Amino acid sequence: MSRTSRPRPSLSAALRPSNKPILAFTCGDPAGIGAQAVLGALRGKRPLLFSPVLVGEPWIWRRAGWCPGRIPCVSSGPVAKPVPYGKASRAGGRCSFESFRLAVKLAGEGLVDALVTAPISKKSWEMAGVGFTDHTEFLRSELGLRAQMVLASPPNRLWCVTATRHIPLARVPGSLDVETVRAAAEGLHMALRIIGIPRPRLGLCGLNPHAGEDGLLGPEERRVLIPAARRARREGIGLTDPIPADTAWRWHRQGRLDGLICLYHDQALIGLKASAGLEIVNWTVGLPFPRVSPGHGTGFDIAGKKRPDSAPTRLAAELAASIISACGRASGRACRPPATS
């Protein structure tokens, strides 16, 4: 990881060995609700299944209610003076990026077992000149891996992956090809096997209304999606041919499918949030370590005004702990599903 500096010598003392998985929590954009949501999740009544470590500027955590001594905090270095709540900024983008970059370094060094990332502002990252749109893009570049963004509501048994991520809707059709769709299916297939579904049944959402109506309403199903599904099935992935997206979501909720390959951001998030509200997490699959985050944004409109709902952050952390339990505490080696019997 050439872009990151090596952790300071004091980190080994801060990150003491634990019989529980060690989860690094990034601060997210300091102008948002991320740090407050993290601390709220760690104050929950249920016993923690993990040992938490905060990563980021100490002033961000103090402003959110952190008291030094109870939970260790690893500073990402003085980046900026405190920024006001509720607004994207260059300083906020730099703070959130440095927090995330250091957390990735800690995981790569084997000092933490998983990352729980608080929400960032893509606008702040752009203003800071980070050079990456989001967490997943940075991870793909830094680790040289084709990671996949799995979105889920574990309590509701809803799982999906997005073949494209944060791009304008007008660019989606031209961004789809057979390998992109197949790789997305492979990522979700692996994720579901890790959580204990040995032979996942996956549904492929169509891009066009009625899944193209046999080419009448668009060519992408014939040109890209059907060939991708056939290739996935040859590789042992249980993937359907394209299904109209509304039908696919109904079948998933009924339990006829274990997960969905969605082709663009809102095709996934509308179904998830309509079904599960904010009980949604984001899991980056295909890394040497789990990276998860709550399925909501920075909450600039409520930051510093009222206490945010910390349940999604707690849900993300518990998913990370369960992934580590399934894969073994294996920072530095890829988390892979068990072999199919």
Burial of residue 74 (CB within 10 Å: 0-12, 13-18, 19+) is buried
Q: Look at strands 114-116 and 201-205 and give their pairing.
A: unpaired
pLDDT for 146 equals 82
Kindly write down the DSSP assignment for every residue of 220-248, as one continuous string: HIIIIIHHHHHHHHHTT-EEEEEE-HHHH
pLDDT for 9 equals 38
Distance (Å, rounded) from C-alpha 120 to C-alpha 282? 13
Nearest 5°: phi and psi at 170? -65, -20
pLDDT for 2 equals 35
pLDDT for 177 equals 96
Residues, the chain, total? Answer: 341
Q: Which of 13-17, 176-180, 236-240 has the lowest mean pLDDT?
A: 13-17
pLDDT tens string 117-135 = 999 999 999 999 999 998 9
Per DSSP, the three-state class of 120 is: coil
At the topology level, CATH places domain 148-281 in Isopropylmalate Dehydrogenase (3.40.718)
pLDDT tens string 29-50 = 999 999 999 999 999 777 888 9
Q: What is the mean pLDDT of residues 318-334?
A: 72
Distance (Å, rounded) from C-alpha 48 to C-alpha 39? 12
Is pLDDT of 282 > 60? yes
pLDDT tens string 134-176 = 898 899 888 888 889 999 999 999 999 999 988 999 999 999 9
pLDDT for 76 equals 86
At the topology level, CATH places domain 1-147+286-341 in Rossmann fold (3.40.50)
Q: What is the mean pLDDT of residues 54-80?
A: 88
Distance (Å, rounded) from C-alpha 259 to C-alpha 270? 15
Are the beta carbons of 282 and 320 closer than 8 angstroms? no
**Encoded amino acid at 318, one letter:** E
pLDDT for 36 equals 96
- Looking at the chain, which runs of residues are DSSP E strands? 22-26, 51-55, 73-74, 114-116, 148-153, 158-162, 201-205, 238-243, 259-262, 281-285, 291-294
Nearest CA among 284, 54, 270, 260 for reference residue 157: 260
pLDDT for 5 equals 40
Q: What is the mean pLDDT of residues 87-94?
A: 94
Listed in order, the ranges of the chain carrying CATH 3.40.50 are: 1-147+286-341
Q: What is the mean pLDDT of residues 171-184?
A: 96
pLDDT for 280 equals 93
pLDDT for 144 equals 84
Is pLDDT of 310 > 70? yes
Listed in order, the ranges of the chain carrying CATH 3.40.718.10 are: 148-281
